[in-house]
Amino acid sequence: MKNKKNRNKKLTGSSYLKDKIFSFFGSGKKYLKGFIFPEIRVGVRRISLNDKNRKDFCLDLYDTSGPYTDPRISVSISKGLPKIRSGWKKESLNEGQKKSTVSSAVTQMHYAKKGMITPEMEFVALREGCTPYLIRDEVASGRAIIPANIRHRELEPMIIGSRFLVKINANIGNSPVSSGLKEEVEKMIWAIRWGADTVMDLSTGKNIHKIRETIIRNCPVPVGTVPIYEALEKVKGNIHQLNWEIFKETLIEQAEQGVDFFTIHAGILMKTIPLAMKRKTGIVSRGGAILAKWSLYHGKENFLYTFFKEICEILKKYDVSFSLGDGLRPGCIADANDEAQFAELKILGELTKLAWSHDVQTMIEGPGHVPLHLIRENMEKQIEYCHGAPFYTLGPLTTDIAPGYDHITSSIGAALIGSLGTAMLCYVTPKEHLGLPDKEDVRNGIMAYKIAAHVADLAKNHPLARRWDDAISEARFEFRWEDQFRLALDPETARKYHEPASLKKILALDRCCSMCGPEFCSMNLSQEVKKCYKRKKKFINR
Amino acid sequence: MKNKKNRNKKLTGSSYLKDKIFSFFGSGKKYLKGFIFPEIRVGVRRISLNDKNRKDFCLDLYDTSGPYTDPRISVSISKGLPKIRSGWKKESLNEGQKKSTVSSAVTQMHYAKKGMITPEMEFVALREGCTPYLIRDEVASGRAIIPANIRHRELEPMIIGSRFLVKINANIGNSPVSSGLKEEVEKMIWAIRWGADTVMDLSTGKNIHKIRETIIRNCPVPVGTVPIYEALEKVKGNIHQLNWEIFKETLIEQAEQGVDFFTIHAGILMKTIPLAMKRKTGIVSRGGAILAKWSLYHGKENFLYTFFKEICEILKKYDVSFSLGDGLRPGCIADANDEAQFAELKILGELTKLAWSHDVQTMIEGPGHVPLHLIRENMEKQIEYCHGAPFYTLGPLTTDIAPGYDHITSSIGAALIGSLGTAMLCYVTPKEHLGLPDKEDVRNGIMAYKIAAHVADLAKNHPLARRWDDAISEARFEFRWEDQFRLALDPETARKYHEPASLKKILALDRCCSMCGPEFCSMNLSQEVKKCYKRKKKFINR
């Protein structure tokens, strides 16, 4: 009991949070150590189980929650997380290959092309259960990225690529009419506790700079932004006053802070805007609409396109990754897979090549709203046009009719596109189209997307996927309720949905639930069938 | 105001319900009249909209809620719904074809094979927006069923078949340890209000007979049961005491009451049981486990199989449809698509032929737990083995790791298998694996499945599907918030998730929400882009 008390007390990170329950019950934090770089320690969530057949059996799960779930580390929001990457060796293992000729780049792609293994690569390899060589080769080819700004020293690196576990991103950030710093930092901490692999700070309201600073200093996962939002704040919302200088200044400021990836809407051009004007819902990307308006006002090509080389020069100095924004993503079923969308995708493919020539890591953003039968075409065209760069999609939402349930309409599309090769899924919360998500919406969005990502991993036969399903199914069949809760994606909800204590007394020995009662419980019956079968096996004519 | 008061008062059906809000706001009940049978009136939900471009524009949606949402009809639970089918002509339109030679059958398949159009067929044709000839031909071929016991005179007929709108079933019913008559009738009424196309009463607790009677008399959608549950109650839970006589008596009682379809687990045989013994979670179908245990105990073949002909004789006298149960459906990802499952499916295919030879309408139940990449094989094998009979699947759940969220894990699988041709989707609630669902769980299950079914309809290009998405997307783009709520799958939740009144005042003219605020609202920006584009079009070089 004493231990438990101390543990709660030590979690000063969680003392910042209203709700004190932070670690999942039955889960502990364990660390895997690096081989090439022994200073590396990769946290995993270890779930202890009571399987009679296998003593001391436990399951290690990929862990995005960082130091917050380690009772031995005391976290102070004002000080920020420990800067783990400062202690990592800068030199990498050189295997003699030299492909890159780009100077002054410090990107993972730069090192990978040179045949080097970085601490970041080994960290990621330990998380994914593969060799660092696979990581290096995928990063070198552009098929995967490790978003890791050299200034984000609190980061636990992760990889985004179709050969690896499917990742999910959670959008947070305030708006001019709602929420502040405390709420947004709290959302970030809960988001990674529930499993967000990256977070995007989409703040457009007050204190953008301060909110971002606090988030990055306390965030163990990559942080993404859409820099045009802050640039627009600088010109007080007057789109026509935007220009390259203001944008460049914003980019550098954010890169200096440690932002790991930037959404850049460089694919929205004079020739593609008219294609979107025929649509039912026009341009639904905020960044896309801003840049289209700027272009039309000035009669000039989008400055993110014209200054793309200059942007690459900045990004390669910090190893900020591109997330090439789909400013023309469809905003409804009627607009899916149209000329505008695919014309922009082609441009993003050209820009990918340009970014790669600067050794800047790049992923491509994708739709949006797409009916189920048109999803495959998105993936195929993306691979073709964008030369295998990782795809990062918003949903897609597979119908427009269910505001309030768009975490579900979109997790259907996300699971499918994930199984086809999309590397990261941007979550959608139940509040999509209706309002700014609160903490509970963030949880519902993340759960729906953790499901979609895992469903995709299973469908892709990822070696780390099935053992989780098998462990929970075995626990279920053997009525190890406690193990089933511990293994649940959301242990607290699973336990809450189970029976109240009063009812448990009626249910003999916990060998059933109120759905069927003991007599009609199929798991119970099936155990009996199994016993009966063993006794009578010899009499049965197979 | 006076009207509104009266309206609430008249809804004596809803006075039975705790929560008085029953009709959806902005929706009215309209009726389509029959051409061949003018006595037929098909209720639709008419949503009135405020589209400036189209005066008096409204959208009619398929309506499962029956008289409960018609303020002109007073409903009393003790008396039951009006017996609409009593007033329908019994003679059908004969077009001279005579295929059937089965005597004493009163089934829709019997009439269809004879080339006749029944009132039930025309009712269904009006709902589906197709000709009654298509309905007749699909029923005659066995590719679709109209579950409509001649004793269920309160029924508004519907059709289950791959060429029609994808349907959803909601399971209700008490268990020995939870819930009673009032709760279950209330769940049924809410289930159809939210859109359940059929309900299955799976009661296994007290008052099975009385609960079922009250449900059927007050239910405008087909009611299904698993008769083995009541038969088992009759022998006080002693499986080995079950026999054909007790089962037959139960079947006849339930058919007399008006049950529209029976789940019959006739495919679980001596040769298939051993195949399931190798599994991780054995036999997870309650009926399947009961019959496997009976078979093993007596060393005899399943009596539902040996007396299948006799069962057909009973069903054809009432037009009860078969729902051939998949007693060996997989209960976890590891057991999906195994030998046991497909061996049983083959047997169900043989029984389908036998049922058809008696003119008994038949559908086939399907899994269960299946990972995304193995779903297609289920559909393809079912079509092949079962000669095109409609498929009716539980989910499938695409992962085992998320108890508490299985409405989502399964709606992913349901949407996909629906798009591939499954005719009806059995919902799964968030309480699956954890407890008996309450009213709120029923709502969440139904919403997830209405989404899955509609997503499948869109993917199948059903002519009635897209107009709903288009209407809501247009409303969204034009900031017709009220119309967006009215058109939402769940209008109450959409409205609740939108902003509180206090915040609305800040948001200028309602032209945004708190997610982005007015300045960053992409829809708002996009409207401006459109205007700007119109002005500057001539200067732009396309």
Q: Which of A 484-523 lie inside 8 A of B, CB atoms?
A: 484-485, 487-490, 493-494, 496-499, 503, 506-507, 513-523
Q: How many residues does chain A have?
A: 542
Nearest Cα to Cα of residue A172 among A431, A453, A456: A431
Closest CB to A270: pick one of B175, B519, B541.
B541
Q: Which two tokens stand for residue B251?
A: 């079947």
Residues of chain B contacting A412 with CB distance shorter than 8 Å:
411-412, 415-416, 451-452, 455
From the CA of A345, how many Å to the nearest CA of chain B?
A: 18
Q: Residue B415 and residue A402: Cβ atoms within 8 Å?
A: no
- Mutation for B interface: A293, A397, A482, A525, most B CBs within 10 A: A525
Q: What is the pLDDT of residues B30-59, one digit of tens each?
A: 999 999 999 999 999 999 999 888 888 899
List pLDDT tens digits, range A196-249: 999 999 988 778 899 999 999 999 999 999 999 999 999 999 999 999 999 999
CA B364 – CA B261 distance, rounded (Å): 12
| pTM (predicted TM-score) | 0.94
Confidence of residue B7 (pLDDT cuts 50, 70, 90): very low
For residue range B262-279, list pLDDT tens digits in order: 999 999 999 999 999 999
Query: Is residue A534 packed enough to be buried (19+ CB in 10 Å), middle (13-18) or exposed (0-12)?
Result: exposed
B419 band by pLDDT with thresholds 50, 70 and 90 = very high
Q: Which residues contact B243 (CB under 8 A, 6 or more apart)?
A: B303
Chain A residue nearest residue B284, CA to CA: A522
Q: How confident is the model at residue B505 (pLDDT cuts 50, 70, 90)?
A: low
- A176 vs B: CB within 8 A: yes
pLDDT in tens, B291-348: 999 999 999 999 999 999 999 999 999 999 999 999 999 999 999 999 999 999 999 9
* Contact residues, chain B, for A474 at CB < 8 Å: 280
**Interface-testing mutation among B516, B521, B528, B534, with chain A (most A C-beta atoms within 10 A):** B516
3 state DSSP class of B427: coil
A331 → chain B, closest CA residue: B473
Confidence of residue B520 (pLDDT cuts 50, 70, 90): confident
For A174, the 3-state DSSP assignment is: coil
d(CA B109, CA A383): 49
Q: Are B451 and B411 in contact (CB under 8 A)?
A: yes
**B105-150, pLDDT tens digit by residue?**
899 999 999 999 999 999 999 999 999 999 999 999 999 999 999 9
**Nearest CA-CA distance, residue B104 and chain A, Å:** 36
- Judged by a CB distance cut-off of 8 A, whether residue A214 touches chain B is no
Q: What average pLDDT does the segment B482-509 reach?
A: 78
A428 touches chain B (CB under 8 A): no
B430 at interface of A, judged by CB pairs closer than 8 A: yes
Which pLDDT tens digit goes with each residue over B422-445? 999 999 999 998 888 889 999 999
Provide, as residue numbers in chain A, all residues whose Cβ is less than 8 Å from the Cβ of B273.
Answer: 529, 533, 540
Half-sphere exposure at residue A342, Cβ-oriented, CA atoms within 13 angstroms? 15
At B9 the pLDDT is: 38
Please report the residues numbered 91 through 130 in chain B whose beta carbons come closer than 8 angstroms to any beta carbon of chain A. Answer: none
User: Residue A281 above 70 pLDDT?
Assistant: yes
Nearest CB partner across the interface for A297, out of B469, B496, B532: B532
* Interaxial angle between packed helices A244-257 and A227-234, expressed in degrees from 0 to 180 and rounded to the nearest 10: 120
- CA-nearest residue of chain B to A441? B497
Which one of A529, A530, A539 would you mutate to disrupt binding with B, by most B Cβ within 10 Å of its Cβ? Answer: A529
Reported ipTM: 0.93
The CA-atom distances, in angstroms, between A346 and each of A269, A385, B484 are 12, 5, 34
| Residues 6+ positions from B239 with CB-CB distance below 8 Å | B232, B290, B293, B294, B297
Measured from the Cβ of residue A538, the count of other Cβ atoms closer than 10 Å reads 5
